[in-house]
């Protein structure tokens, strides 16, 4: 009697994002954990194995993110300290830094005072990256590579990146077809929120964006 063999690609398709699973993992878990997994499966539509693997994969991704965050802890704590200084100054003036010139200037001096306290106080030495930069790389650091020039140039790069944010209409179309990169969302959020005048732009375009999204939705689902 001939033994039937499964055709390549045959069999039940995985009910989830993971395919090609060939390694087995046998373990005992608590009843509560099993019930939580089963409840999650009903909500996500994944199989039990796919749900467990999704959550394991997410935990490893969080570990990787945490290690990266640890390497950049100095940036995170500086951001937190700047936020606190800004909040204290706004509380003292009763104004927001982004719509009051006095408060904005006070925040600028407050951040400078913060860095004077916690940044190294040695005489600035030219870092190797700046010292050995090629002529082409000098466009990144400016000609002389002084701290003021390096800081101003890098800030100018960030400003240009923010100011080149995609138009809200393009964002609306992209969301409908699922092709809006996280970078676009970040740039638009910064562009919108860093200047109160952008709120006016947002208000003026909200109705038009909603109409455009509705049109795109209709066109996307049209047979």
Angstrom distance (rounded) from CA 91 to CA 94: 5
Q: How many CB atoms lie within 10 A of CB 96?
A: 14
Low pLDDT (below 50) residues in the chain: 11, 220, 222-223
Domains of the chain by residue range: 31-71, 73-120, 147-223
Question: So what's the pLDDT on residue 59?
Answer: 85
Question: So what's the pLDDT on residue 104?
Answer: 95
Angstrom distance (rounded) from CA 42 to CA 51: 10
Question: So what's the pLDDT on residue 24?
Answer: 82
Long-range Cβ contact pairs of 162-169 (< 8 A, separation 24 or more): 162/187, 162/190, 162/191, 162/194, 163/191, 165/190, 165/191, 165/192, 168/202, 168/205, 168/209, 169/205, 169/208, 169/209, 169/212
pTM above 0.85, yes or no: no
State the DSSP code for 17.
S
């Amino acid at each position: 009697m001939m033994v039937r063999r499964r055709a390549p690609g045959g069999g039940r398709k995985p009910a989830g994002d993971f395919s090609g699973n060939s390694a087995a993992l046998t373990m005992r878990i608590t009843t509560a954990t099993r019930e939580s997994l089963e409840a999650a499966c009903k909500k996500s539509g994944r199989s039990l194995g796919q749900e467990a693997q999704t959550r394991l994969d997410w935990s490893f991704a969080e570990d990787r993110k945490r290690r990266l965050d640890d390497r950049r802890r100095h940036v995170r704590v500086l951001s937190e300290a700047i936020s606190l200084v800004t909040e204290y100054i706004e509380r003292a003036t009763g104004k927001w830094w982004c719509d009051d010139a006095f408060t904005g200037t006070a925040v600028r001096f407050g951040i400078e005072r913060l860095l004077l306290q916690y940044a190294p106080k040695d005489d600035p030495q030219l870092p190797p990256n700046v010292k050995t930069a090629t002529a082409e790389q000098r466009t990144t650091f400016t000609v002389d590579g002084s701290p003021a020039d390096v800081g101003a140039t890098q800030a100018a790069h960030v400003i240009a990146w923010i100011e080149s944010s995609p138009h809200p209409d393009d964002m609306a179309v992209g969301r409908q077809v699922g092709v809006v990169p996280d970078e676009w969302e970040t740039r638009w959020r910064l562009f919108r929120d860093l200047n109160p005048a952008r709120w006016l732009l947002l208000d003026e375009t909200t109705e038009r964006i909603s109409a455009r999204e509705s049109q795109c939705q209709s066109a996307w689902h049209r047979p």
